[in-house]
Amino acid sequence: MVVTSTAEPYLPDTDRLPALAEAAAGCRGCELYADATQVVFGRGPAAAPMMLVGEQPGDVEDQRGEPFVGPAGKLLDRALAEAGVDPARSYLTNAVKHFAFTRRGSRRIHQTPKRSHVVACRPWLAAELRAVRPAVLVALGATASQSLFGPSFRLGQHRGEVLHLPEPAEVDPLVVVTVHPSAILRAGDAREEMYAGLVADLRHAAQLLD
């Protein structure tokens, strides 16, 4: 199948999450599909009041076919619990649906997705937003934030703010941006402080639901 520069031709004419997930398995919107084990679509209830968007699946997610089930996902689960966010009322997904990596011997090392990957995959994220219509949207990390707001967006300048998606937007959730859990895992001595900041941002997002 010919690889296109966008996922748009692979989207079905529906906002039903099961149909979107099924169609995403055949996406050839960028070259990442060729080396990844499988597409990793979002998971969670269709009417979840909160959606959380990360960067891309990691090695564990790529093998299991679910987002946020590796080390970063476990840290996020703990942070959500501390922030008072009910995981059963949250939808988890990524800006890019295939694992981008480089090989180092037998290991697969995470590689930040290129802007072209983010743009190619943007129709899937837009479809998930239309399907779920969350009241609150949390962008985890720079890649997710820039997928939503464009490449010039700087996460550090907007943390703590309540944002709205750029016009024209088909849905209008309240948006909070924060760090990605994987950044905390790499933070060394700053890990505790960064984790506390993530919990505070997630608590802020949870309060917006009220």
Dist CA 52 CA 138 (whole Å): 5
Say how many Å lie between the first and final Cα of the chain, rounded: 47
Helix spans in the chain (H):
17-24, 59-64, 71-83, 115-132, 142-149, 155-158, 181-185, 191-208
Q: pLDDT below 50 — which residues of the chain?
A: 1
Q: Give the pLDDT of residue 161.
A: 97
What is the DSSP code (8-state) at residue 163? B
- Given 3-state DSSP classes, what are the helix, strand and coil percentages for the chain, each rounded to the nearest 5? 45, 15, 40
- Write the pLDDT tens digit of every residue in 136-154: 999 999 999 999 999 999 9
Q: Give the pLDDT of residue 140.
A: 98
Q: Give the pLDDT of residue 168.
A: 87
Measured CA to CA in angstroms, residue 9 lies from 6, 32, 93, 161 at distances of: 7, 16, 20, 35
Q: Give the pLDDT of residue 1.
A: 46
Q: Give the pLDDT of residue 210.
A: 81
Q: What is the CATH number of domain 8-208?
A: 3.40.470.10
Q: Give the pLDDT of residue 3.
A: 56
Q: Give the pLDDT of residue 125.
A: 98
54 neighbors 95 (Cβ within 8 angstroms) = yes
